[in-house]
Structure 1
């Protein structure tokens, strides 16, 4: 690309050097011959600046038909006028080619800069003091925490499947109790769905709350209460006794939006889920990350929960 710019600049310079002496040549015949050579060079330069620049793609701006014809064969005035007109046309074309060259140079420089950024932009992973692997990036990007332990592998040898028992149907009393919880209608459909899920969770209907909050997150992924919804969905699993399912949702909420309104809460509840699963190492990593990332919460709104969880594990 740099070589192409040098060739374009050299060609443009050669054209300008040839144009300026022509203005002082008194002999019309000699000027006409040199003008013909100059027009040919401008045409060649035009093809270099614009790939495919021949008559198959566009009509050259300087053509023999555009040259002034000396109709009355007057040897002085009309010949000089023709030379001046042709010089003016060449000057205009050189100006266009110079501008196009500058545009091309700027575009090539921008491409080179982007290539340099792409070649040198990949950052290596480093280890934070808390032992969490992090990938340096723009401010606000999530730290990579160890994922919660996976579910048992599905491809392990298992005995022949047995028919699953029919799902237990909720009792009429439970159905009536759930139906008694009113769903709000404020005009904000997303907030209404979240609030209804919160009311189900607050009333202790955890399976129903899980279903409702999952529906809210699926329908309104960009809603302003999304961080609340993911955190509350994890709590609905944790309060129902499913610490593994809860850890998945807490981990997702923190990783997806570490600056979210309930990202810090999810990190603490992730530690609580790991403690419930007996995974002290991951619990300590989550607690250390919380203390480093959310110092204001650790000494403020969540200080009691943070202190209590630290007292339940030995992270030395």
Structure 2
């Protein structure tokens, strides 16, 4: 009976590990495909908006328009779509982070189950004897063994409070739901408690975003500049530099913004991507030379 139960546990664990490996692969393939389509659309829209190429059919409401010319209505529609794609890409990036978080939680849970199986195995537990609880001076049984026992709920709450991944996800959820004031406080608290955590750069970037979307360009610029200086070659390096330029533009510092966008194009010369396309678009919008 014990052997059957053990075999069942091993089987369920194996199935869980297979699902654990397969789930993120399928999910990330779907997200990667969507990101690729968005990148292609950004390049198409950017060429139509800033290089005078013929826009896609859905952005041509007038049949008598001159080929390659972009009317004011079309230009507004193209700019709106570019902004929508940027927001969608940010959402997909957050979804990848959420999947990674869920994956780590599942891995930790499987490890915990394995440890619990070992600790609670009947084979490893000695039979209780009369000497199991030491007697005190007055002859009563000792209760020292109960000091380490805590309700599972209290332990889980403390673990969640001390979990930086959970704290980051809560902050990002507020940002995703556009609760920018609360997201600002949550990301600020995360950086205060976990300044060296692997998600600190992401948290600093999204903290800057909470200011940027509210038009607080000076605060946003400081955070994006700090993020870029800390890790210019990191995953958020190009994003920080782009948003730094956009924040400087929002502050009216055209020359500084133009230099920033030029640096992005210089760093990524020969490898077109959405960051460079957006930098080129912002250069054109500001009238950079």
TM-score by length of 2: 0.42
TM-score by length of 1: 0.39
Higher helix fraction (1 or 2) = 2
Larger Rg: 1
